[in-house]
Amino acid sequence: MKAKRLPLVYPTASFAGLLFVLGTMWYAASSQNSPAVYLLLFALTAVFLVSIPHTLINLAGVRVALESAQPAFAGQEVSLPVEISNSSRATRHGIELALSGSNRDRERIDYIPADKAARMTLRFPARRRGEHEIGALRLTSVYPLGFIRVSKKFASAQTYIVYPKPEGDLQLPSNGTSIPRNSLQAEIGEGDDFAGVRAYVSGESQRHIDWKAVARGQPLMTKQFAAEREGFVHLDFSALRFANVEERLSQLALWVIEAERARRPYGLRLPGTEIRPAVGQVHFHQCLRALSLFQVGMPGSA
């Protein structure tokens, strides 16, 4: 991405401290008519002034490239992998990146050598379900003295998806019927007999992650236990009796995760959309995406 406009320059909080010190020096120098104190005052002033072009140049040739963000559940964190490249012939120091408008979640890279790139992950909270635009990113730097911040804005039309927060009290419906019953069925995947491992699905409980395998450097795997059942299930929006759309979507999202974890084919019925029963990553994300985008922007939705 290329920067939108010329970089902005504005003082940081410690600039106030610097002004105070300079003011003190000036008062002392002029009231004592002391050339030595004037020398100190002017040295500090001049070094500060000279640091401004240094700070400005520190962002020259630095570009941001966004990769696609992994979908996240509402309430969790969105991780946005970013590549910051330095096409100049000098090492750039202390580069910070933040979403425009939020100063808190500033990520920092200490240095990027000339003609090299660095990767970082920008994390920010996923607040509401739906598809959101990343909007603008701010690349800032206070190097070398920290009294002045230079900020470059990079606009991005890229979006990220936030799935509904998986929560609810109801059991997963037992079979093809769409009405959940209080069956005596055991918690799926919570049996006693170890039956193997499969890939971890983001959003599900971390209790069954095979941490020993992770420690060996393998990817995240979930341990499965032999209480899992056969038979598909229809997850139906209209069959849920909550008044609130968001509560229904949250319940459905939880069920999608539970069904996927149990490797049990599941279908999703939303008003106007139907997804046929299946299992697997593609199907899983298709269902969650449908839940995420359901009635976004309509009156009454979040």
Spell out the alpha helix ranges (H) of the chain: 13-32, 35-57, 211-215, 245-261, 281-293
- Which amino acid, residue 133? E
With respect to another protein, which residue has the nearer C-beta, 42 or 232? Answer: 42
With respect to another protein, which residue has the nearer C-beta, 82 or 126? Answer: 82
What is the helix, strand, coil percentage profile of the chain, to 5?
25, 35, 40
CB of 295 to another protein, least distance (A): 32
Measured CA to CA in angstroms, residue 192 lies from 25, 225, 259 at distances of: 75, 6, 18
Question: What is the DSSP annotation of 14-43?
Answer: HHHHHHHHHHHHHHHHHHHT-HHHHHHHHH
With respect to another protein, which residue has the nearer C-beta, 36 or 298? Answer: 36
With respect to another protein, which residue has the nearer C-beta, 31 or 182? Answer: 31
DSSP state for residue 271 in the 8-state scheme: T
CB of 203 to another protein, least distance (A): 25
Contact 128, 293 (CB under 8 A): no
CB of 121 to another protein, least distance (A): 9
CB of 83 to another protein, least distance (A): 11
CB of 55 to another protein, least distance (A): 10
With respect to another protein, which residue has the nearer C-beta, 65 or 201? Answer: 65
CB of 99 to another protein, least distance (A): 15
Contact 102, 78 (CB under 8 A): no
With respect to another protein, which residue has the nearer C-beta, 60 or 227? Answer: 60
Q: For tokens 């490249």, name the residue.
A: 85
Neighbours of 119 (CB within 10 A): 12
CB of 214 to another protein, least distance (A): 21
Phi, psi of 34 (to 5 degrees): -105, 110
Which residue ranges make up the site for another protein (CB under 8 A)?
Answer: 14, 17-18, 20-21, 24-25, 27-40, 42-47, 49-54, 56-57, 60-61, 87-91, 93-94, 107-116, 118, 120, 142-146
Contact 131, 163 (CB under 8 A): no
With respect to another protein, which residue has the nearer C-beta, 105 or 187? Answer: 105
What DSSP element (H or E) covers 8? strand 8-11
Residues 6+ apart with CB under 8 A from 100: 135, 136, 137, 138, 153
Taking the CA atoms of 146, 148, 154 and 159 in sequence, report the sign of the dihedral they define: positive
With respect to another protein, which residue has the nearer C-beta, 31 or 206? Answer: 31
CB of 155 to another protein, least distance (A): 15
